[in-house]
Amino acid sequence: MCNKIIANILKQIGMITLCLADNSPVVHLGIQTYFKNSTTIKIAEVVSSFDELQSKISSSSIDCVVLDAELNGLNSILKIKKLLQENPKLNVIFFTNVSDTLYAPPAIKSGVKGYVSKNVELSELENAIIRVNNGELVFSTEVRKAIEILNKTKKSERLFKKLSTREIEVLRYFSEGRKNKEVAKILGLDEKTISTYKLRLLQKLSVTNLLDLINKAKQLEII
């Protein structure tokens, strides 16, 4: 109760109350030392396990959690998702050495607002905490690229499900520069049928001409 009262007072004077969740004493010391005299960020709690974190969140008024992605091994993502469902106003930043491309996409999906490498200067972590507290999402260029690749893959998978085997076959012949008449002859179909397939492909990939159709199919790695 005392911790919650103190945290509420800190909020009133505009300070961000932070919980550091990491099992490394070196990380604890480094971050606590860095923020010791900060007028913006106050480390209200320091924990070394997920059970401790959940306990502190329920008993304290915390704005932001700086969390080691491997605090609870591979289960950290699932536990964070549940924690954020129970505390929707809580901001979580992953502060970790784990590969961006491995943890970032599922972390973002679970509701994590920032992903900061332990290799950066602590001033970058400080900046991330402030930005996240102001409603921003903070991720590195590498993380954004990983998300783009993931989204692209998902979009490609959805389109594959929408396209029939025959439509993909026709599309591949178009990408080779073959005309409707040639494709019809190869597949043993009527030329009007190929025109129908072409129209369906244009509609399903949301383009208006053959060049854009082929470019989009290549971009999404359908062909």
Asked if 134 and 110 touch (Cβ cutoff 8 Å), the reply is no
Tell me which architecture the domain covering 163-219 has in CATH. Answer: Orthogonal Bundle (1.10)
Domain boundaries of the chain, sorted by first residue:
2-146, 163-219
Q: Give the pLDDT confidence score for residue 47 in this predicted structure.
A: 94
Asked if 173 and 183 touch (Cβ cutoff 8 Å), the reply is yes
Asked if 181 and 189 touch (Cβ cutoff 8 Å), the reply is no
Q: What is the DSSP letter of 72?
A: E
Tell me which architecture the domain covering 2-146 has in CATH. Answer: 3-Layer(aba) Sandwich (3.40)
pLDDT (tens digit per residue) in 32-88? 999 999 999 999 999 999 889 988 887 778 999 999 988 876 567 778 888 888 898
CA distance 191 to 206: 23
Token pair recorded at residue 51: 């059970």
Q: Give the pLDDT confidence score for residue 155 in this predicted structure.
A: 65
Average pLDDT for runs of 10 along the chain of length 223: 50 78 93 94 92 85 90 75 88 83 74 88 94 89 70 66 86 93 92 93 89 86 77
